């Protein structure tokens, strides 16, 4: 099981830098950030740019994966996103996990005063995913339904670099199939409404999501075992960082549903519902790794 942590970039870099060092030292496999212009969990406070933060984090760490959870298709075009991702991946020596999803309509309103429908957001996500694939495959022009590019004269990647690792956030049947077609990994938080559910209802929703992803892979003639499955836990009633037993239980339940990565909120995440004791993380990681609690 891969263990991940997300650090909403609501604090200045001089403090976030210590978070990334801590995550690597304590044994996390990957550290994620937001990609939002506005978000309810950061209302009234600062929210730094995700990709810039990851580039800085690459300079204070050596081996931990670094990713977006998730980059917002409502804010990015295929060429610009490809350039951002390839640059950060180059700076991080191949450690980037490019998490990508439809994003939030709040960010679209904040960015350009548009309030897209769910159908419009889905189509933009499809275009960003397929356009991104075209860019990274070397296309100089491409056209989708909402996004297109032409006249591209530069290469998509630095010399000798591989394509960034792509993880798609998906919840509905159409988006699950999009992930099955294009992604290296899939992420879910349980889907819309799961944050309002009880703990047991949350895990039932996650189970339904996992089954849906398997069905999507089969519909796309893809072996489900070739897709990494990542689960963000902690936005709703299930709070794994409350205690070491709660953390262990979340890992066990995620494993039983076929997930091979679990992501939790970092100790200094904004709001009482997300904040936690760093020692709980340290002890839980050691227990999950099978070495017992740290002293």
Q: Residue 183: what are its φ and ψ, rounded to 5°?
A: -90, 155
Q: For position 197, what pLDDT does the model report?
A: 84
Q: How far apart are CA 208 and CA 44, in angstroms?
A: 35
* Pairing between β-strand 165-169 and β-strand 185-188 as defined by DSSP bridges: parallel
Q: For position 291, what pLDDT does the model report?
A: 63
Domain spans, the chain: 2-288
Beta bridge partners of 99: 167
| Three-state DSSP state, 38 | coil
**8 A C-beta contact, residue 183 and residue 165:** no
Q: For position 292, what pLDDT does the model report?
A: 56
Instruction: Characterise 27 by phi-psi region: left (phi > 0), alpha (psi -120 to 50), beta (else).
Output: left
CATH superfamily entry for domain 2-288: Luciferase-like domain (3.20.20.30)
**Other residues' Cβ atoms within 10 Å of the Cβ of residue 12:** 10
Instruction: Characterise 222 by phi-psi region: left (phi > 0), alpha (psi -120 to 50), beta (else).
Output: beta
DSSP line for 191-242: -TTGGGS-HHHHHHHHHHHHHHHHHHHHHTT--GGGSEEEEE--SSS--GGG
Q: How far apart are CA 38 and CA 45, in angstroms?
A: 10
How many Cα atoms occupy the beta-carbon half-sphere of 258 within 13 Å?
Answer: 19
Residues whose CB is less than 8 angstroms from the CB of residue 243 and which lie 6 or more positions away in sequence, other chains included:
280
The candidate with the shortest Cα–Cα distance to 253, out of 293, 215, 204, 198, is 204
DSSP type of residue 160: T
The candidate with the shortest Cα–Cα distance to 173, out of 209, 203, 202, 205, is 209
Give the distance between the most distant pair of CA atoms in the chain.
59
The CA angle 76-49-209, to the nearest 5 degrees, is: 60
Q: For position 224, what pLDDT does the model report?
A: 98
Q: Residue 89: what are its φ and ψ, rounded to 5°?
A: -60, -40
Residues whose CB is less than 8 angstroms from the CB of residue 196 and which lie 6 or more positions away in sequence, other chains included:
236
Ranges of residues in the chain with a pLDDT under 70 are 291-295
Quote the radius of gyration of the chain (alpha carbons, Å). 18
Q: For position 295, what pLDDT does the model report?
A: 42
**Other residues' Cβ atoms within 10 Å of the Cβ of residue 279:** 13
| Three-state DSSP state, 281 | helix
For 69-80, the pLDDT digits (tens) are 999 999 999 999
């Amino acid at each position: 099981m891969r263990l991940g942590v997300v650090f909403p970039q609501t604090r200045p870099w001089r403090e976030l830098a210590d978070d990334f060092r801590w995550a690597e030292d304590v044994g996390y496999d990957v550290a994620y950030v937001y990609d939002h212009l506005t978000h309810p969990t950061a209302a009234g406070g600062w929210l730094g740019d995700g990709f810039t933060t990851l580039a800085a984090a690459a300079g204070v760490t050596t081996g931990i994966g670094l990713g977006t959870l998730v980059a917002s298709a409502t804010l990015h075009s295929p060429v610009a996103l490809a350039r951002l991702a390839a640059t950060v991946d180059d700076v991080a020596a191949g450690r980037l996990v490019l998490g990508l999803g439809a994003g939030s309509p709040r960010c679209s309103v904040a960015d350009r005063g548009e309030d897209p429908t769910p159908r419009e957001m889905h189509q933009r996500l499809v275009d960003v995913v397929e356009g991104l694939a075209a860019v990274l495959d070397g296309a100089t022009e491409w056209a989708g339904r909402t996004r297109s590019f032409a006249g591209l004269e530069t290469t998509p990647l630095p010399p000798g670099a591989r394509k960034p690792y792509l993880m798609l956030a998906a919840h509905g049947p159409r988006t699950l199939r999009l992930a099955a077609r294009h992604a290296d990994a899939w992420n879910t938080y349980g889907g819309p409404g799961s944050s309002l559910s009880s703990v047991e209802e949350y895990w039932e929703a996650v189970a339904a999501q996992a089954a849906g992803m398997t069905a999507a892979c089969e519909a796309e003639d893809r072996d489900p075992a070739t897709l990494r499955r990542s689960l963000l836990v902690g936005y709703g009633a299930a709070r794994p960082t409350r205690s070491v037993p709660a953390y262990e239980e979340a890992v066990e339940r995620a494993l039983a549903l076929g997930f091979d990565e679990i992501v939790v909120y970092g100790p200094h995440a904004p709001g009482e519902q997300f904040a936690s004791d760093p020692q709980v993380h340290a002890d839980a990681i050691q227990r999950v790794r099978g070495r017992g609690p740290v002293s």
